[in-house]
Amino acid sequence: MQSTMNAYEIETWLRETDPIRLEMLWKQADLIRAKEVGDQVHLRGLIELSNICRRQCLYCGIRAGNSALTRYRLTNQEVLDAARKAIQFEYGSIVIQSGEDAQLDPENIARLIRQIKGETDLAITLSLGERSIEDYHLWKQAGADRYLLRFETSNRRLFQVIHPAWKHDRLNSNDRLQLLRELRGLGYEIGSGVMVGIPGQSYTDLTNDLLLFRELNLNMIGSGPFLLHPQTPLGQLFLADRGTGLLQVTEWTKEQRAFFEQNDLPVLAIDDQVAHSDQLAFKVIALARLLCPRANIPSTTAIATIDRENGRKMGLSRGANVVMPNLTPLQYRRFYEIYPNKAASYETPEETHAQMLQHLAAIGRIPGKGRGDSR
């Protein structure tokens, strides 16, 4: 169990169900976490800048096609106020995230970055999707430190299906790996990650995802369970009259089969389909820690959404060393609905902050000091 693990060993862990063996995995991940990145938990204040998106991703609730959603974009003043809250709460960094909002003016983002940098020592992470290299360059020059862009799945065909290309894409393969390399070349710390349990994602795919984390030498690795949003194509196809039991099914429906076939995806044996459970997400965190011992790994909101009380704490006890408390003003939060019942959708930044501190105290961990740069 170490960073030299091979594909066979990784897949065996992903399929492991024996609680005693799993306990060994959690222990080992926690040990390596303590040894390599210590007991500090870095708090990254998340600011959800805009839920406007030109994309039609089949999984995501803020996709352009969701006409039921109220759209918003924060003003610079609102972002600045949120950044000041991060200072007040003693966070070392903020993450500015948004949909692929075509109207986001790159110059204005650069101005915002300079303003925040002029006023604070916060590290700034951007997560604004697929943009031009000029934009990435401009924002780096303005002072941005890190960029998050999940590749979502290393299975190329599956990615193309769930993330349809857009006519203005500059890389017609919409190749996020290429973008991550560019971002690193520009001097950003880079973060990526995947969704766990996408319909059509096999254990072999997920194994390849983990191997790719290591190969890319990521500074940050954020992953969480895939969650079904009823206002999305995948939600409609896989949620239909199955309640919450999705993908723990014993066989695919006729419609689900047809979806795979029409999209040139293999119809997986049910045993090969990755479950979209919190348990699988914990395995990905733990294995990511073993494969990339020094990476910054968050215990994500999607995990907290499955288990509000214990999700974040369990992620932190199984390899994670970062949390991303939401700083988005309360009145906008519920509209950044990438999946339903998202944790903290009805809390103020103060409430979310207090809860994070409680979680940390409950497991004997301490809030990080400083920016929490990647080592």
Residue among 100 and 145 whose Cβ is closer to ligand 5AD: 100
Residue among 92 and 191 whose Cβ is closer to ligand 5AD: 191
Q: Which amino acid is at 116?
A: I
In angstroms, the CA 299 to CA 313 distance is 8
Q: How far is CA 89 from CA 92, 261, 326, 350, in A?
A: 9, 50, 12, 9
Place of tokens 């939401």: 326
Residue among 85 and 163 whose Cβ is closer to ligand 5AD: 163
Residue among 224 and 298 whose Cβ is closer to ligand 5AD: 224
In angstroms, the CA 312 to CA 299 distance is 5
**What residues line the site for ligand 5AD (CB under 6 A)?**
59-60, 150, 152, 195, 224, 226-227, 229, 302, 338-339
Residue among 28 and 191 whose Cβ is closer to ligand 5AD: 191
Residue among 98 and 202 whose Cβ is closer to ligand 5AD: 98
Residue among 17 and 67 whose Cβ is closer to ligand 5AD: 67
CB of 19 to ligand 5AD, least distance (A): 26
CA angle 257, 259, 265 (to 5 degrees): 85
Residue among 228 and 360 whose Cβ is closer to ligand 5AD: 228
Contact (Cβ atoms closer than 8 angstroms) between residue 307 and residue 278: yes
Strand partners for 207: none
CB of 172 to ligand 5AD, least distance (A): 21
Residue among 10 and 196 whose Cβ is closer to ligand 5AD: 196
In angstroms, the CA 203 to CA 11 distance is 6
